[in-house]
Amino acid sequence: MASQEYVKLAQSLPPRLLRFFARYPPPTSSFAPASSILNSSSSSSSSSNANQEEITTSDPPPPLPYPNPFQSQKHPATGKWHNPVFSLRRQADLVKMARANGVEELLPYTTKGTEERIQRRVEHGLRVKGTGVGQKVKGKLWERTMKGRLEKRRQAMLGMPELVQQWKQMGHGRGWKKWPK
């Protein structure tokens, strides 16, 4: 029963993901929790909750039988580092496709994965200068001074009725010392 669902899932995947999984198949233990969930659904509902709790606390998956294609590898004899099989851009494309199809957890570890990206965002934040508490982004001169200018203009508009009254009392500008700007 579970193998039929895997076949349906595989048929719905894009060709790039199919080729990737054909060349770098996920560890077989990653399929075990899904099959145990399916088997537990046929039993009583109370035991299915217990099985799901056991599955979530399971051990991490065993190491891959092949080198991780997303990471560089050191040659054991020469000590030379070989570049990853997939570039960072292609890794990101594969992760996006896998996420859209719900199979991202089957991919090998990559820095482009969702969990790693979220962890990096938590550690480093936005990393844009001036976005911290009490900091300002530099901006252009007119952007930096805009708030002060608008406040000054607002205060001038609030004081405008008194200024008009004073202008009329002085004889329409005669003896006027302070010209409004």
The residue ranges of every structural domain in the chain are: 2-27+62-124
How far apart (Å, rounded) are the C-alpha atoms in residues 11 and 51? 29
Q: How far apart are the first and last CA of the chain?
A: 82
| Run of H or E residues at 15 | helix 15-23
How many C-beta atoms lie closer than 10 Å to residue 114's C-beta? 13
Q: What is the pLDDT of residue 81?
A: 98
Phi, psi (5° rounding) for residue 110? -145, 150
Q: Please determine, for residue 152, whether its predicted confidence score (pLDDT) is greater than 50.
A: yes
Q: How confident is the model at residue 61 (pLDDT cuts 50, 70, 90)?
A: low
Q: How confident is the model at residue 88 (pLDDT cuts 50, 70, 90)?
A: very high
- For residue 83, the 8-state DSSP code is P
